[in-house]
Structures are given as structure tokens and as C-alpha cells.
Amino acid sequence: MHKTHTTKTPSSLSSRRVRTLAVVAAVGLFGGGALAQPAWAAVPEGPTEHTTLGLTGEQVMAHLAELAEISESYSAEGYRIWNGPGYEASATYVEEALEATGAFTVERQVFTVDDVVEGPVTLTVGEAVYTGGHMINAEGTATPVVGAPLAIPAAEEGGRLGCDPASFAAIPAGSIVIVQRGVCAFGEKVANATAVDASAVFIANNVPGLIENGTVGDRDESAAPAGSLTPEDGQTLIDLVGAAQEAEEPVPTADAVIEKEFVEVPTFNVIAESVAGDPEDVVVIGAHLDGVDAGPGVNDNASGSAALLALADQVAAYEFPNDRKIRLAFWGAEEIGLLGSTHYVTDLAANDPAALERISSYLNYDMIGSDNYTVGVYDADQSTFEAPVTVPEGSIELEAIFTDYFDGVEQPWVDSEFSGRSDYQAFIEAGIPAGGLFSGADTIKTEEEAAIFGGTAGEPLDSNYHRPTDTLENVNRESVDAFAPAIGWAAHVLAWDLVDAQPPVSPEPEPTDPAVPSPEPEPTGPGAEPTTEPVETVTPAPAAGSGRGDLATTGGSSVAPFALAAGVLLLGGVAVSALAASRHRRIRSES
């Protein structure tokens, strides 16, 4: 769980975001419900109602299949792990797809990740060699420790735990200390051993095997090197030292090796920005591109990345250019701590705060094809889940964009906790309104959710989460089909302004040929005066065998005017389309 941070939004940013989101809040579900335009309506300057941009699950799946194939092809090298060749190949595909739209500029934002290169962990006592494991953030031995005395802390309730600093009082400096797991944190045990100048400390597990993913907390370069042992090996060494102490004999000596190197490894985000749009008002839409090394990561999160690529295609194909900048972010190193998105926000805050202020909203898409899915919307209004983070002003309006859309198309949805446990965390900590969608990970599906969405109650929403089975075949197409148009809708609501439907414009009257005089009005009867009032005429029925049947006499005089109107409408439609296309190209070229 992430800590809650409250960040005050600058007043200039706040006012702009309030204006933008006030417009969003005022928009009805279908964006003003523009009526069909008359035949002679003027060319609109922009959209008169909001749209999904035509974004479909099929379009998302096309990109997802490509990313899945790339990821599977690097199975022996960690699939799409943040620093592996699969991630590089996936990023190249993303960049090429975005550049092919012609509507986005694309760049990589390089940053470094603190990483660890780990080697062997061994403890040698006489002829016996004990193989150990690494502890997260623990120091390694810069050079092997040779001939150091073995030591154990005084017994506490529960064993040789090393939780009480006083239990190390009799341990000589330079010793290799053996302690047992339990009661207190690993970091406390290492800190107590460090306080007596131990040359190394080994923590024996209390369940079978070596300690997995055990951390000593934040890295402390002055701390004693630390590793882990199995319960059996740890107990053997504790008994060996205890027996020597009881017999008042010299304790055994040992050699220790904990090979570990802390390094900085470069990686990157892929950032694409629309050519069109106001650079002073930016909508950021993001999904993480990296995956875990345990599986292909097709749902987590090639699915969200594929949705962004499909969205870029539809933005490029849309007849009107967006009014606000759309920035698509494909985050790196999310799986090891949200590092890509965090770097992006902190870098702007430190080096270009004005650019950070120009971001009016952030939308996040992390997994949209879970096999046992729900249609989850981040619960910014906390109607179901109390948020463990501060929810920035404007986030509730972003939630409503999705929920109003789903309600309008009769798509059931549920709240998903607004927890900050995905790439929107850094944005909300900076006070930027955020929202997004989530089809579920390892949360268990309820009976109620199964009744609404189908699937299996009592099972995880994504049974393939962080597993080798997170493949294209296990992506739920119904889920993708439900999420895709909502993603297009939200982008349109945030990045396009609506215009009023243009009033009809009467056509110019046909000119009269001056060489042909207008006929004088005829009297309507014997002795009657001429009149200029219009006289109804009747179009004669066509001759038999014309093929028109009863249609020729139905409506009488209306047939010829309708034919003329149809021709005019056809010509007018061609002209309107040409003008709109010309304007669209002009605006894109000027942007």
C-alpha cells in the first residue's frame, strides 16, 4: 500500500482544470444530441456530439496479437521484462505503429533503474559448503570474508532471533553471525549485527527452503552484508557454535561470499504526442508496456498498450482534429515499482513544472481483458471503496465520463478501488485528476459479480495474472469489446470541444434567362381578371407500361420536386465532404 500524499495544485492549473472538467460535467451522455442537419446546413467547424471514435475490440485485438507474438518470441529472455530484448522489440513495434498514423510525434524518455546483479552466496565451514540466498536491498561482500569466527546471538524466546540488541553483546567484531527468522523484521536483525561490526549475517529461514523476496528495507550501504540459509543449515551451524561455547572451545571459523553489485540500468518510456491540439491543455492517457518475466503478459499489460495504439489509429482517422493535445504514454518498469510513470512526473516537477501544470487529466488502462473479468471503473467518488490516497479534485468527473457512458449503452460496471496502485499514482500525488478502467487481477470474483458479468464466483478475476498462461488465447474478448469503445469515448469527451449545429442556409435562387419573358398570368375563367396567385398543377400520369406502377399517381406533383431535391442533396453532400476533408487536412498541416 502506498502512502498518502497531499499536493496542493497551483491556482493557475486549478482554474484551467476546473474549466475543462466543468465542460465535461455539463456534457450529456451523447454530447448534446445534435439533430440531423437540413439539406442546406453549413459545414460544421467540429463535432456536434461526442463519439467513441469508432474504437472497437477488434481493432485492439489486432495490435494485441502483434504484441503477444513479440512477447512469446522472447520467452527465454524474460518475455517483456523492463530491461530485456522483448521490451525493446515491443517498444519498436509501438513506435512504428504510432509514427504510421501521421498524427503523433514519438520519442523515448530514457531513465535509469537501480538494479542488482547477483552472484553466488556461500558459507564455507571446514570442508562443508552451505549455499545461501540473497536478501533484497542487503549489501554484498565487496571481497570474500575469510577465516572469520562464527557467532550466534544470545537465546531469546523463540530461538536465536537477534531481535534484542543486547543479545549481541558478547559477539566479537568481525564475526559471521547466524540468526533465525521470526518475531522482528529482517532489517532489525541486520542492524543489530551491524552495530557490533559483524562481517556478515546469515538469516536462517523458519519454513522449508531459502527466504524468497525477503527485504531488509531501504538500502543502507554501511550495513553488514546479509544472506539467507535454509532452516536445516542454519540449525546445524547454530548447534555447532553452541557446542563449542558450551565446551569452552574456540568457535569454528568460516569463509563467506555474497556476490552482489548494485548498478544503474537504463530503460525508457515511449511518449507520443498528437500533432493537433492546444499545447497549453494536455490530456495524458497511459498504460504500462513492460511485463513480468514469469509469462507473456498479454493481458498485463499488452492489452492496455494495444488499446492506446488502436486509439491512436482512430484519432488519426477522425474527421476533426482534437482541440487539446493527446499524449499517449507507454510506461516502462511498472512491474518493479511504477518507475516509468513516477520518473515522468517527478522529472517534470523538477525540470519543467509549467509542463506539469499543463496536464489537465490522466487516464490509466492497466488490464482490460481478464478471463474472469468485471468492468471496473476507478472509484474516485468513493461510493464503494474508501480511497487510501488523496483523490485530486476533478477525478470524480473523470469517473462519471465512464459510468455515464456505460449506463447509456446499458453496460453493467462496478467500482474498482481508487488505490493509486498503478501508473496513476504519481499523477494523483501531483494533484492531477485521474481515472481509468480495470478488468481485474487477483481479487476474487463475488457471487453478485458473477451474476452480472458471468464467469466463476470464488475465482480470481484474472486466473493468469503474472503466470505463464497470460497468453492471447486467455484474453476475454467480451471484456475487450466492452472496454474499447469506452476508451474512445473518454478520449473524445476530454480532447474535443463540441460545436453547435450550424443553421440552415437557403440556396441562391436560380437565375432567370432574360431572353425568355415570363408568361402573363392567364384568367382562371370566362370574364375573370388575371391573377398572380399560384395555381396548383397536376403532373400527368405516365403512359401505361412505364414500369412505375402506382408510384406515378401517388403524390402527383411531388415526384419531380423530390427527384430534383435528391440531386441537390447528393451534390451538396459531396461538397460538404470535400470542404470538411480540406479543412481537416489544412488544420493538421498547420499544427
Residues labelled as active-site residues = 334
DSSP for 9-52 reads PPHHHHHHHHHHHHHHHHS-TTTT-PPPPPTTBPPPSS-SS---
Say how far apart CA 585 and CA 320 lie, in whole Å. Answer: 9
Which residues contact residue 174 at a Cβ distance below 8 angstroms, ignoring those fewer than 6 apart? Answer: 148, 149, 197, 198, 199
Q: Are 40 and 504 in contact (CB under 8 A)?
A: yes
Mapped onto helix, strand or coil, the DSSP state of residue 462 is coil
Type of residue numbered 332: G
Question: Quick one: which of 590, 572, 44 has its CA closest to 319?
Answer: 44
Q: Are 408 and 392 in contact (CB under 8 A)?
A: no
Cell 474512445 locates to: 488
Determine the Cα angle at 361 with ends 357 and 365, to 5°: 135
Q: Are 229 and 178 in contact (CB under 8 A)?
A: yes
Extract the runs of DSSP E, i.e. beta strands, from 126-249.
128-131, 133-134, 145-151, 176-180, 200-204, 226-229
What are 118's strand-pairing partners?
Answer: 260
Which residues contact residue 282 at a Cβ distance below 8 angstroms, ignoring those fewer than 6 apart? Answer: 273, 324, 325, 326, 327, 358, 359, 360
DSSP for 374-395 reads --EEE-TT-SSS--SS---TTH
Q: Are 24 and 403 in contact (CB under 8 A)?
A: no
Say how far apart CA 390 and CA 396 lie, in whole Å. Answer: 12
Q: Is 354 exposed, middle or buried (CB count within 10 Å of its CB: 0-12, 13-18, 19+)?
A: exposed
- DSSP code for 294: T
Say how far apart CA 38 and CA 421 lie, in whole Å. Answer: 50
Extract the runs of DSSP E, i.e. beta strands, from 275-350.
278-288, 324-331
Say how far apart CA 95 and CA 517 lie, in whole Å. Answer: 69
Nearest-10 crossing angle of helices 11-26, 395-408: 20
Q: Are 279 and 354 in contact (CB under 8 A)?
A: no
